[in-house]
Amino acid sequence: MRILMQGDKGRAICPACRRPVTTTYEYRTVHLERTGVDVDNVLVGVCDVCGEIVSIPAQSAPRLKDARDAKLATVNARIPRHLDDILHVLADQYGASTNAFCPAMLRYYLHEVATSESFARRVERLARQDLARGKADARVSLRLSDDLWSQAWRRARDAGIRSQADLFKGVILAAMEDSTQGRAPARRKVLEGIARVA
């Protein structure tokens, strides 16, 4: 196996540029969609045109595997059926499978809760809206890293959210607003990226 170093050059097909490009190997943080974990200091090939990660060399695979195997939490919550419908509508809007897109989207939004006090307050406000009410006859179940869940839940409680169900209700409504009302274009771009790989 050839060991690559930071600054080495390569070639790859860039999904964003849609063509072959030259790449430069750099150490970056890689976000693992399935577990919601961010892995620091991973050597990756970066497109010289747009700056997106386009390849991961074999020597980085063990680091990513270790992070994937980290302890996961499973979180369950009961939500009104119309909020479950919103999840399906969002997946359809982005042209993705509900089963692949929605867990990654929910992990992303929980990451936003974990890292932004103002976003957590927004989620708390949305969880109190009339649209969040109704008979909780649907279920959401999500696997994510223990770290992400504990950080998101701590921030949610600090914002006044008292139940896991309320956290998920607010997150779903935030995703709907971001996707249908033109709010948060940066988050919408992330959702488009999630849909492309889901």
Task: Give domain limits for the chain.
Answer: 9-68, 72-197
Q: What is the pLDDT of residue 198?
A: 75
Residue range 66-109, pLDDT digits in tens: 877 666 789 999 999 999 999 999 999 999 999 999 999 999 99
Q: What is the pLDDT of residue 56?
A: 94
Question: If we measure between CA atoms, which residue out of 101, 97, 103 comes closest to residue 75?
Answer: 103
| pLDDT at residue 35 greater than cutoff 80 | no
Bridge-partner residues for 38, per DSSP? 31
Per-state percent for the chain, helix, strand, coil, to nearest 5: 50, 25, 25
Residue range 100-138, pLDDT digits in tens: 999 999 999 999 999 999 999 999 999 999 999 999 999
Q: What is the pLDDT of residue 66?
A: 82
Q: What is the pLDDT of residue 27?
A: 97
Q: What is the pLDDT of residue 184?
A: 85
Q: Are 190 and 174 in contact (CB under 8 A)?
A: no
Neighbours of 80 (CB within 10 A): 19
Three-state DSSP class for 107?
helix
| pLDDT at residue 146 greater than cutoff 90 | no
Q: What is the pLDDT of residue 91?
A: 97
Q: What is the pLDDT of residue 43?
A: 97
Strand (E) positions, 92-168?
A: 138-145
Q: What is the pLDDT of residue 33?
A: 78
93, 188, 190, 107: CA torsion to nearest 10:
-80
Q: What is the pLDDT of residue 70?
A: 67
